[in-house]
């Protein structure tokens, strides 16, 4: 992903850090969706706020590391898994 970003916009750290920050925001939303599906609306709000303000997430989103991408991908996969289970969709489960 970093190589693709460098290929498109050139070398530098601003764009990858902005992209990782965006992934962090989307991750907080996904955490909220996961919590809503498993524990209800109140837990979803709390989980999203905690994910958005968790210090380690914020720190690793500012570093050029794979951590932010990994957390996003795990949250996205978990969200899709829950969606597939709740909708009984084999395509979502796959």
For residue range 28-49, what is the model confidence (pLDDT) as tens digits? 999 999 999 999 999 999 999 9
Among 32, 24, 26, CA closest to 55: 24
Q: Give mean pLDDT, residues 38-61.
A: 93
Q: Does 92 score more than 70 pLDDT?
A: no
**Residue 1 pLDDT:** 84
**Residue 77 pLDDT:** 93
Mean pLDDT of the chain: 90
Q: Give mean pLDDT, residues 44-58.
A: 94
Q: Which of 51-55, 64-68, 77-81 has the lowest mean pLDDT?
A: 64-68
Burial 30-60 (b: 16+ CB within 10 A, else e): bbbbbbbbeeeeeebeebbeebbeeeebeeb
């Amino acid at each position: 992903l970093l190589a693709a970003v460098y290929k498109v916009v050139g070398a530098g750290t601003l764009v990858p850090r902005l992209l990782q920050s965006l992934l962090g925001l989307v991750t907080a939303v996904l955490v909220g969706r996961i919590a809503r599906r498993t524990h209800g609306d109140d837990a979803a709000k709390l989980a999203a706020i905690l994910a958005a303000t968790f210090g380690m997430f914020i720190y690793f989103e500012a570093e050029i590391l794979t951590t932010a991408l990994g957390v996003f991908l795990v949250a996205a996969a978990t969200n899709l898994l829950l969606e597939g289970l709740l909708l009984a969709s084999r395509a979502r489960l796959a």
